[in-house]
């Protein structure tokens, strides 16, 4: 029983958070285009666009020009600060040690800046956002070329696992 609970908790923590408009019928969307307002000109933007359109096509959304599509795709990279902390010890020191206090304090020893990717889908007719998913993992920043492309693909694929929403 405990194994089942631990497995469920582990799997629940793997999914990227997503949100959607519960009043929207997602079955009516049959095509997707890059949002006219979004900037996909950078190398990363081009990767995100290519992989998103490819993966959404596998889910039944046909890529079309923006003026013919039912959904528009856009993305946003947000810079966040992540604190680097120590893990508290939850056991006692050696029984031969004179110091028997617990070391249960979490200590911050630094911070790093990370970028997080958010994908958004907007209803092209109403111009209202209907779905979004934000990555928990950091956007790759140290890789380049093929390795970076592979990491971006994995991140986009992970985000689009939540589309269409599970009702």
Residues 6+ apart with CB under 8 A from 144: none
Tell me whether residue 118 is in a domain.
Answer: yes
pLDDT value, residue 139: 79
Average pLDDT over residues 74-89: 82
Q: How does pLDDT run across 115-144, given as a tens digit for each residue?
A: 899 999 999 999 999 999 999 988 777 878
Q: Is residue 56 part of a domain?
A: yes
- The pLDDT of residue 9 is above 50: no
Domain range holding 155?
Answer: 29-87+101-160
33 occurs within a structural domain: yes
Sign of the torsion formed by the C-alpha atoms of 40, 18, 64 and 38: negative
* pLDDT, tens digit (0-9, with 9 covering 90-100), for 40-75: 889 999 999 999 999 999 999 999 999 999 999 999
Q: Is residue 13 part of a domain?
A: no
Residue 9 structure tokens: 């908790």
Residue 3 pLDDT > 50 = no
Task: Note whether residue 1 is domain-resident.
Answer: no
Find out whether 31 and 71 touch, Cβ atoms under 8 Å: yes
Q: What angle do the packed helices 145-160 and 43-58 form, to 10 degrees?
A: 40
The CATH number given to whatever domain includes residue 147 is 3.30.160.670
Give the count of domains, the chain: 1
72 within some domain: yes
**Residue 98 dihedral angles phi and psi, to the nearest 5°:** -80, -15
């Amino acid at each position: 029983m405990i194994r089942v609970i631990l497995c469920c908790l582990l799997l629940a923590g793997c999914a990227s958070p997503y949100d959607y408009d519960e009043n929207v019928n997602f079955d009516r969307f049959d095509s997707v285009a890059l949002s006219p307002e979004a900037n996909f000109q950078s190398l990363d933007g081009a990767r995100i666009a290519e992989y998103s359109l490819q993966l959404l096509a596998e889910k039944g959304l046909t890529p079309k020009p923006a003026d013919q599509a039912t959904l528009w795709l856009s993305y946003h990279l947000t810079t966040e600060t992540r604190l680097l902390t120590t893990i508290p010890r939850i056991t006692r020191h050696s029984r031969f040690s004179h110091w028997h206090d617990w070391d249960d304090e979490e200590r911050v020893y630094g911070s790093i800046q990370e970028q997080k990717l958010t994908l958004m889908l907007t209803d092209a007719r109403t111009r209202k956002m209907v779905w979004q998913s934000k990555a928990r993992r950091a956007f790759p920043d140290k890789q380049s070329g093929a390795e970076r492309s592979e990491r971006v693909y994995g991140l986009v694929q992970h985000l689009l696992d939540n589309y269409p929403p599970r009702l």
